[in-house]
Amino acid sequence: MIMAKTIVTILAYLILFLLDFLNVFNTKDKKRFQYTFFFIFLPLY
């Protein structure tokens, strides 16, 4: 049960990461991408 929740959480983070990654190429806003990258992977460690 805990493993399933972890997988769902990681998938949600990956989806948000991909959406923001695509948004970076549209807006060329590198700084926002770095902060998003930091906040996405901080809870994983």
pLDDT at 33: 64
Of residues 39 and 44, more confidently modeled: 39
pLDDT of 32 higher than 70:
no
Which has the higher per-residue pLDDT, 13 or 2? 13
Chain mean pLDDT for the chain: 73
pLDDT at 31 over 70: no
The pTM of the full predicted model, rounded to 2 decimals, is: 0.45
DSSP string, 7-35: HHHHHHHHHHHHHHHHHHHHH--HHHHHH
Q: What pLDDT is recorded for position 29?
A: 61
